[in-house]
Copies of this chain bind each other. A is one copy, B any other.
Amino acid sequence: MKTIEDIRRDFPILGLQVNGKPLVYLDSAASSQKPMQVLNAYCGFCESRYANVHRGVHTLAENATADYEDARRLVAEFVKADPRGLVFTRGTTEAINLVAQSYGRKFIKHGQAILLTPMEHHANLVPWQLLAQYTGAELRFWPMTEDGRLDLDGGKKLLDSRVAMVAVTHMSNVLGTINPVREIAEMAHAVGAKVLIDGAQAAPHLPVDIGGIGADFYAFSGHKMCGPTGIGVLWGRPEILEDMDPFMTGGEMIREVWLDHATWAEVPHKFEAGTPPITEAVSLGAAVRYLQQITPEWIAAHDHALTELAWEKLTREPGVTGYGPTDNRGAIVTFNVDGIHPHDLAGLLDREGVAIRAGHHCAQPLMRWLGVQATARASFYLYNTPEEIDRLVDGIRIAKKVLHVV
């Protein structure tokens, strides 16, 4: 079993000095850092197995194709899903757009409803707004409790037979709320609705079991789970994917092409038009292997302990307001400090080498719900330590002094 020191050594960037101080990276919810194992996989593949996939009959093309398809299987195993339903996309955003367009435009009609929550990331909100405008379907929003959880009873009232799609995040990227997606899927299926789960924050941090959840669609991004940018995943039930029209068209996704029409390849290839993110898939496979080795369970426990500690230390600081549930939260603490604009807080923490995020976190409607313009957000991952939380708290104290808030 690796120790936290071993893990930190796997991430070359963590040795960086920022503004004269050792880097404390507390922005993994925006994007995680990459371990050597992933960079080595990237370069190793390019050095000895690289070619375009799926059409070539030479050795490199065969090897590259095998590695690409192995990555599909590895990633599917990681989230306990049927690899036939696993489509590589650029990220969560493309995955959700794909469903909203290819499923939504074909199957969601005027008079039906799409049920969302007010805590969705723009990626799981705006595509549905456009679909609603296109089809005339209605948007509904699941009510929330004061501490930022979904009000299950309130949601039940909105779930009638007109609801065609329930799209909800597995873990909020602002409040850290972990939603009961399995119950939600059950409730949705009971009225005949399909369920899409935005797993962008959950896949990196929780053991995910797509089969167990019963999701019809599940989306996540490679770059937040130690993998590269440029790749993400849409998982969909193969039988649903088969009924959907393609999202993009071109090479690789066709069966036969004539001048005026074409027929499609089987799923998942039907949804992978053009040269796919080959090296990114192989490297995401390496990331998943890395996380699997450390185990999602260890990561969840580690994240949980850090988050509890951070919540406790931060909310004990005078002038600090924390947002979201007080327990069972994901590896995110979102807060504000009285009298300090979150951008300034992040700027002044950066002088101390501490990287946090400040802003609306791509969740403007949730900011309005919280009654704030912006917040600060510290987020944790497998490489963070309790000492780094002390550095955060110290940094906040310094910021207060600099801005004469105390």
Contact = CB atoms under 8 A, between A and B. Distances in A.
Q: Report which residue of A18, A31, A223 has the largest number of chain B beta carbons within 10 angstroms of its beta carbon.
A: A31
B59 A127 contact: no
A26 to B, nearest CB: 9
A46 B364 CA distance: 29
A13 interface: yes
A94 B276 CA distance: 10
A342 to B, nearest CB: 9
Contacts of A229: 230, 275-280
Nearest to A345: B57
Chain A interface mostly:
mixed
Given A118-B259, A230-B279, A343-B57, A94 B274 contact: yes
Copies, count: 2
Interface stretch (A162-170, A245-253, A296-304): A245-253
Contacts of A19: 59
A58 B362 contact: no
Interface in A365-386: 365
Nearest to A258: B365
Interface in A237-267: 248-252, 254, 256-262
B51 A127 contact: no
Contact of A262 (B55, B91, B129): B129
Given A356-B58, A365-B257, A250 B127 contact: yes
B123 A262 contact: no
A113 to B, nearest CB: 13
Interface stretch (A147-155, A184-192, A325-333, A347-355): A347-355
Contacts of A94: 248, 273-274
15 contacts: A18-B59, A31-B50, A31-B51, A55-B359, A58-B350, A90-B277, A91-B274, A93-B274, A97-B248, A123-B251, A228-B230, A229-B277, A230-B277, A230-B278, A259-B365
